[in-house]
Copies of this chain bind each other. A is one copy, B any other.
Amino acid sequence: MPTDLDVICIGNAIVDVLSHAADDDIVRLDLNRGTMTLIEEDRAAELYAAMGPAVEASGGSAANTAAGIASLGGRAGFIGKVRDDAFGQIFAHDIKAIGVDFPTPPATEGPPTASCYIFITSDAHRTMNTYLGACVNLTPQDIDPAFIGRAQVTYMEGYLWDRPAAKDAFLTAAREAHGHGRKVSLTLSDPFCVDRHRDSFRDLVKGHVDILFANEDEIVSLYQVADFDAALQHARADCQIAALTRSEKGSVVIAGDEVHIVDAEAVPHVADTTGAGDLYASGFLYGLTNGHDLATCGRLGAIAAGEVISHVGSRPEVPLKDFAEERLGLKGAAD
């Protein structure tokens, strides 16, 4: 059966609350600088009260990736759980408005739509505090086998592993994808997420994942090795394709004997690194599912990440299709 979607992304459906913060605020509020921390409702209220003026924008790691694929001109789907509240409406509006197929019905009871309180420091790094809210209600019932069968790749975020029902949904989706002869892709999401789930992530990567995304901290943590190169050799053995990102040092794409060293995109002013890894995955997976070679996939990842770090917020501000085609000299080639 032919596929009519390039990629289906499964992840936490989150609205970001973004604010600039001073270095002192990070210390005073006892935040884990530069990482993602899970918080409960009381802590969310406490952090919001202590936060400066903010803007609200749809986020969520895999959801950002889906938005990026659609912005590149790809055909993307998203599975994730919101509540039928104001933030849920914002999330659903934004992901549909960019052209992503989002069939998951909102929860009509239980906790509110997830929110992530993001403190952006003057070095453009973000410290994220996520209240998962309605995301805990994502279950295997939200995975429609026929929907999964429509996409070349099913991509999931490691963050799903933090909730048992979402983890079951993940495994159900992986089985369905492979049952349809499709590929399964995973991002390790965050070094602390890897710490929480190292053994099961290793089994998952070895047994279920065809295309792996991770940054340097995450892949070194997964394999508990001394350096990036040692981690790379493990990933090479475990997955068909691994795309390993290293911030301004660029990325390494490895697939069996094939290796590509990809430079980061030059960005005149880095405003906010939120979404860099998510958009790298957008570019890479868009390239892979639209017939580009692996070196070009890496370049597309770097270009998409370069756009998103040049402004505040974790989704593209300009149509990535035109943006990427200009930079790659691809005008018209991917149509």
Specify the chain B residue showing the minimal Cβ separation from A88: B86
| Contact A98 B55, beta carbon cutoff 8 Å | no
* A7-40 near B? 1/0 per residue, CB < 8 Å: 0000000000001100000000000000000000
Q: Which residues of B contact A313 (CB under 8 A)?
A: 55
Q: How far is the CA of A267 from the CA of B97 in the complex (A)?
A: 31
Q: Which residues of B contact A51 (CB under 8 A)?
A: 93, 97
Q: How far is the CA of A87 from the CA of B85 in the complex (A)?
A: 11
Q: Is A58 an interface position by the 8 A CB rule?
A: yes
| Contact A55 B52, beta carbon cutoff 8 Å | no
Q: Which residues of B contact A97 (CB under 8 A)?
A: 19, 51-54
Q: Is A84 an interface position by the 8 A CB rule?
A: no
Interface residue ranges of A296-314 to B (CB < 8 Å): 313
Specify the chain B residue showing the minimal Cβ separation from A316: B53
Q: How far is the CA of A55 from the CA of B19 in the complex (A)?
A: 13
Interface residue ranges of A120-175 to B (CB < 8 Å): none
Q: How far is the CA of A289 from the CA of B325 in the complex (A)?
A: 52
Q: Which residues of B contact A87 (CB under 8 A)?
A: 86
Specify the chain B residue showing the minimal Cβ separation from A16: B55
* A49-75 near B? 1/0 per residue, CB < 8 Å: 101111111100000000100000000
A-B contact pairs, 27 of them (CB 8 A): A19-B97, A20-B317, A48-B93, A49-B93, A51-B93, A51-B97, A52-B97, A53-B58, A53-B67, A53-B93, A53-B94, A53-B95, A53-B97, A53-B315, A54-B57, A54-B90, A54-B94, A54-B97, A55-B55, A55-B56, A55-B57, A55-B313, A56-B57, A56-B90, A85-B86, A86-B86, A86-B87
